[in-house]
């Protein structure tokens, strides 16, 4: 393109298209309007493209992180699945052991085996706490010698059933709960002792007793003896 000849001092040829343009008094403008506009459009387009690229990169990064999280979650799910399988197998084995009769006295004495230290401490802590709680909630002025025994028996039964300290035994045949209690022969005594010591006045005792009665009834209700009858009467009385 032919260079035009400037007609005034502020006119210059555009460095891009060589067209003469007015660079202004201070010489601030460096290109013609058309080229300046073109460059602005290109800049704007470049910025838009840069923004799009950044968005794309962020999206890809997010996807990678998501996939990583999924993989980790997958590993966690696999771990949980394994743990569940292991725990179910253990439960089945425990169930078989619980249902394989052992000699009653032997099982009862195993409460004091070193191998059962954790279980023994757990059960003793539970019954000590329960006894303390119940004692604080009833009038103890005329408490007889077996008050503690029966409060402890109720706790041993509830905690035993809840934590599966249940063992089938022979001589005598039946179940031993928490190593210590035959649950099918307590109903009649409980009915009498609960009234005698007014244990209903203890909300802690009542809560445990209300949990226990349906369990006893469901397991031994068909025995049709004085104990199962007493359990049914107590369920009726307490509406559980
Ligand atoms: Zn130009």
Question: If you count them, how many residues does the chain have?
Answer: 240
Which two tokens mark 45?
């387009």
Strands (E) in the chain, as ranges, are: 11-13, 20-22, 102-103, 166-170, 174-177
User: How many angstroms separate the alpha carbon of residue 27 from the centre of ligand 1?
Assistant: 15
Same domain, 115 and 181: yes
User: How many angstroms separate the alpha carbon of residue 20 from the centre of ligand 1?
Assistant: 8
User: How many angstroms separate the alpha carbon of residue 1 from the centre of ligand 1?
Assistant: 12
Q: Please state at what angle helix 187-196 crosses helix 226-238, rounded to 10 degrees.
A: 50
Region 103-121 average pLDDT: 92
User: How many angstroms separate the alpha carbon of residue 37 from the centre of ligand 1?
Assistant: 9
User: How many angstroms separate the alpha carbon of residue 222 from the centre of ligand 1?
Assistant: 105
Q: Please report the pLDDT score of residue 6 as a whole number.
A: 61
Same domain, 85 and 108: no
In DSSP terms, 20 is beta-bridged to 13
User: How many angstroms separate the alpha carbon of residue 33 from the centre of ligand 1?
Assistant: 7
Q: Please report the pLDDT score of residue 228 as a whole number.
A: 97
pLDDT in tens, 44-63: 899 889 888 999 999 999 88
For residue 178, with 0-12 CB atoms within 10 Å meaning exposed, 13-18 middle and 19 or more buried, which class applies?
Answer: buried
Boundary residue ending a domain (39, 71, 100)? 100
9, part of any domain: no
Contact between 40 and 46 under an 8 Å Cβ cutoff? The reply is no
Helix (H) or strand (E) holding 225: none
Q: Please report the pLDDT score of residue 4 as a whole number.
A: 61
232, part of any domain: yes
pLDDT in tens, 4-36: 666 677 888 998 999 998 887 777 788 898 998
Report the predicted TM-score, pTM, of the whole model to 2 decimal places.
0.65
User: How many angstroms separate the alpha carbon of residue 38 from the centre of ligand 1?
Assistant: 9
User: How many angstroms separate the alpha carbon of residue 44 from the centre of ligand 1?
Assistant: 18
Same domain, 188 and 209: yes
Hey, is 174 helix, strand or coil?
strand
User: How many angstroms separate the alpha carbon of residue 13 from the centre of ligand 1?
Assistant: 8
Q: Please report the pLDDT score of residue 26 as a whole number.
A: 74
Domain that holds residue 203: 102-238
According to DSSP, residue 9 is labeled T
188, part of any domain: yes
90, part of any domain: yes
76, part of any domain: yes
User: Residue 73 above 60 pLDDT?
Assistant: yes
User: Residue 218 above 90 pLDDT?
Assistant: yes
Give the CA dihedral 215, 216, 217, 223, nearest 10 degrees: 140
Mean pLDDT of the chain: 90
Same domain, 107 and 205: yes
User: How many angstroms separate the alpha carbon of residue 15 from the centre of ligand 1?
Assistant: 7
User: How many angstroms separate the alpha carbon of residue 16 from the centre of ligand 1?
Assistant: 5
Give the CA dihedral 117, 122, 128, 130, nearest 10 degrees: -160
Q: Please report the pLDDT score of residue 2 as a whole number.
A: 54
Cα separation of 31 and 49, whole Å? 25
Contact between 154 and 190 under an 8 Å Cβ cutoff? The reply is yes
Q: Please report the pLDDT score of residue 111 as a whole number.
A: 93
For residue 29, with 0-12 CB atoms within 10 Å meaning exposed, 13-18 middle and 19 or more buried, which class applies?
Answer: middle
Q: Please report the pLDDT score of residue 130 as a whole number.
A: 97
Same domain, 78 and 145: no
Total number of domains constituting the chain: 2
- Angle among Cα 43, 44, 49 to the nearest 5 degrees reads 95
Same domain, 92 and 57: yes
By C-alpha distance, which of 122, 157, 142, 149 is closest to 201? 142
User: How many angstroms separate the alpha carbon of residue 19 from the centre of ligand 1?
Assistant: 6
In DSSP terms, 167 is beta-bridged to 176
Contact between 44 and 38 under an 8 Å Cβ cutoff? The reply is no
Q: Please report the pLDDT score of residue 74 as a whole number.
A: 82
pLDDT in tens, 129-162: 999 999 999 877 766 778 999 999 999 999 999 9
Boundary residue ending a domain (69, 85, 100)? 100
Region 208-221 average pLDDT: 97
Q: Please report the pLDDT score of residue 159 as a whole number.
A: 98
User: How many angstroms separate the alpha carbon of residue 75 from the centre of ligand 1?
Assistant: 63
pLDDT in tens, 161-184: 999 999 999 989 999 999 999 999
Boundary residue ending a domain (100, 119, 141)? 100
């Amino acid at each position: 393109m032919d260079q035009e000849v400037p007609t005034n001092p502020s006119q210059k040829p555009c460095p891009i298209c060589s067209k003469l343009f007015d660079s202004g008094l201070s010489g601030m403008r460096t290109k013609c309007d058309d080229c300046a506009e073109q460059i602005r459009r290109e800049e704007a387009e470049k910025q838009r493209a840069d923004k799009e690229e950044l968005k794309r990169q962020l999206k890809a990064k997010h996807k990678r992180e998501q996939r990583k999280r999924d993989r980790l979650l997958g590993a966690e799910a696999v771990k949980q699945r394994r743990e569940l399988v292991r725990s179910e197998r253990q439960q089945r084995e425990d169930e078989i052991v619980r249902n394989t009769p052992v000699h009653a006295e032997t099982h009862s004495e195993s409460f004091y085996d070193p191998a059962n230290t954790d279980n023994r401490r757990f059960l003793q802590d539970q019954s000590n706490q329960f006894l303390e709680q119940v004692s604080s909630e009833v009038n103890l002025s005329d408490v007889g010698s077996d008050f503690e025994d029966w409060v402890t028996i109720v706790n041993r039964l509830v905690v035993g059933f809840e934590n599966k300290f249940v063992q089938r035994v022979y001589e005598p045949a039946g179940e031993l709960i928490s190593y210590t209690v035959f649950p099918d022969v307590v109903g009649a005594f409980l009915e009498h002792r609960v009234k005698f010591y007014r244990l209903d006045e203890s909300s802690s005792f009542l809560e445990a007793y209300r949990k226990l009665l349906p369990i006893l009834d469901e397991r031994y209700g068909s025995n049709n003896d004085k104990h199962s009858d007493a359990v049914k009467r107590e369920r009726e009385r307490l509406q559980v």
